[in-house]
Amino acid sequence: MDHSEKDTASGGVLPEALGLVSEALGRLRYGAIQLTVHDGKVMQIDVTERKRLTD
């Protein structure tokens, strides 16, 4: 684990990102969650939701 991984794991962006991903998973029925990572840090979370229509 390098210095930047220790900084992220000890508090900061990673716990926030995990919370946002967990929240998105809790409300998503159909779709995708995409994480964008730069230099080992989560920079963006995209949630794509699909609505299923029934007859």
pLDDT in tens, 12-50: 778 999 999 999 999 999 999 999 999 999 999 999 999
**Has residue 17 been placed in a domain?**
yes
**Has residue 22 been placed in a domain?**
yes
> Taking a C-beta distance cutoff of 8 angstroms, is the pair 42, 19 a contact?
no
20 lies in which domain range?
A: 3-49
**Has residue 55 been placed in a domain?**
no
Rounded Cα gap, residues 14 and 8, in angstroms: 6
Instruction: Please tell me the predicted confidence (pLDDT) of residue 8.
Output: 47
**Has residue 54 been placed in a domain?**
no
**Has residue 36 been placed in a domain?**
yes
Per-residue tokens: 16: 């926030």
Per-residue tokens: 18: 């995990």
Per-residue tokens: 27: 């409300």
Contacts 24+ apart (CB under 8 A), 43-49: 45/17, 45/20, 45/21
